[in-house]
């Protein structure tokens, strides 16, 4: 049995340091976002004000069956570099008993896009920023395009009024996937192998390769004027198939196959948000100067 020490233990000291670096923001959060569940480290400090070096908040969007806690690697990286970082849980077709017991990213993507738009507005209001940057994975890399196209995120006639400056997408479902079964598998994996009835939900059906939803999303052009797009895909993606369906066509688009920058990187679809080589590309896309200070991590053969 351990007795109590009069001196603060290592854990207490680390917690105190973490509180200084990433203060609790629940009391400062807008009421609608005060109880969203577990946030990744560094995210959702609603008192954060952007700096001249990083004038736009970064909003992180999870994929199908995901939660914002999945950004446990990228969020503190961004915070350490001086960004205001925000994340949300969105798209719950059927809310669970608590936010952390809910399966997200399963609702109709139109509902998710509206929900995402409300969060963008809340972040812009809290930070005073005119625009945000978005980093998304899978569905979360595609859904913001719907928000920009149909729900006020971008203004094609007046790009200076865009609410979004850039979208950085990790293995997004921009043209859907042939392998919806793998999408279901990814959801089950995210849930620890738990099975659930009705898992083939509307959001998955909308992400079928060249579905009516995908065709409508891409009709008339896949990008919005004034928005910068970076798409990062991996050869080892068995969820978004073919992996090339992640890539966009249009101006201000940079499509990157991860293995062309690091041949020995082998992340699968679900590993992209934690893969060091992929996250280096994310950081570089948000700020090109990042690459002058940090070398891309690349495993040795």
CATH number at residue 72: 3.40.50.1820
Instruction: For residues 102-107, give the mean pLDDT.
Output: 93
Whole-number Å distance between alpha carbons of 100 and 276:
26
Residue 9 pLDDT greater than 90, yes or no: no
- Residue 3, pLDDT score: 32
Residue 18: inside a domain: no
Cβ-contact 84, 99 below 8 angstroms: no
pLDDT, tens only, 141-170? 999 999 999 999 999 999 999 999 999 999
What is the domain extent for residue 133? 25-293
Cβ-contact 53, 26 below 8 angstroms: no
> Could you give the angle at which helices 139-150 and 109-127 cross, rounded to 10 degrees?
80
Residue 36: inside a domain: yes
Q: Helix, strand or coil for residue 266? A: coil
pLDDT, tens only, 48-99? 999 999 999 999 999 999 999 999 999 999 999 999 999 999 999 988 899 9
Residue 185 pLDDT greater than 70, yes or no: no
Residue 16 pLDDT greater than 50, yes or no: no
- Residue 179, pLDDT score: 75
Q: What percent of the chain has pLDDT over 90?
A: 79
Average pLDDT taken over every residue of the chain = 88
Q: What is the DSSP string of 142-195?
A: HHHHHHHHHSSS--TT-GGG-SEEEEEEES--TT-BS-HHHHHHHHHHHTTS--
Whole-number Å distance between alpha carbons of 133 and 115:
17
- Residue 193, pLDDT score: 45
pTM for this structure? 0.87
- Residue 7, pLDDT score: 40
Q: Which residues contact 281 (CB under 8 A, 6 or more apart)?
A: 230, 232, 256, 258, 261, 296
Q: Which residues contact 108 (CB under 8 A, 6 or more apart)?
A: 93, 202, 203, 206
- Residue 38, pLDDT score: 95
Residue 256: inside a domain: yes
Number of domains in the chain: 1
Bridge partners of 136, per DSSP, are 61, 169
Residue 198 pLDDT greater than 70, yes or no: no
Residue 5: inside a domain: no
pLDDT, tens only, 213-237? 999 999 999 999 999 999 999 999 9
Whole-number Å distance between alpha carbons of 106 and 190:
13
């Amino acid at each position: 049995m351990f007795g109590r020490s009069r001196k603060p233990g290592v854990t207490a000291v680390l917690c105190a340091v973490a509180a200084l670096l990433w203060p609790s923001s629940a009391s400062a959060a807008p009421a609608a976002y005060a109880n969203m569940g577990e946030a990744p480290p560094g995210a959702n400090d609603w008192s954060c004000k952007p700096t001249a070096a990083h004038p736009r908040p970064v909003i992180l969007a999870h994929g199908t069956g995901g939660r914002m806690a999945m950004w446990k690697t990228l969020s503190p990286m961004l915070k350490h570099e001086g960004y205001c970082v925000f994340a949300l849980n969105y798209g719950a077709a059927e809310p669970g008993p608590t936010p952390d017991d809910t399966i997200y990213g399963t609702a109709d993507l139109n509902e998710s896009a509206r929900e995402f738009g409300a969060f963008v507005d809340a972040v812009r209001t809290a930070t005073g920023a005119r625009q945000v940057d978005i980093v998304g994975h899978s569905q979360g890399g595609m859904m913001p395009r719907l928000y920009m196209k149909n729900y006020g995120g971008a203004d094609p006639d007046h790009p200076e009024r865009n609410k979004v400056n850039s979208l950085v997408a990790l293995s997004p479902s921009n043209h859907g996937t042939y392998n919806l079964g793998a999408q279901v598998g990814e959801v089950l994996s995210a849930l620890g192998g738990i099975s659930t009835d009705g898992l083939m939900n509307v959001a998955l059906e909308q992400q079928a390769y060249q579905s009516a939803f995908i065709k409508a999303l891409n009709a008339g052009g896949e990008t919005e004027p004034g928005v910068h797009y970076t798409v990062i895909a991996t050869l080892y993606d068995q969820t978004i198939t073919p992996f090339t369906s992640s890539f966009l066509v249009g101006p201000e688009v940079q499509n990157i196959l991860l293995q062309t920058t690091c041949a020995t990187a082998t992340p699968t679809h679900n590993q992209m948000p934690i893969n060091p080589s992929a996250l280096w590309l994310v950081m570089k896309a948000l700020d090109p100067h990042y690459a002058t200070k940090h070398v891309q991590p690349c495993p040795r053969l």
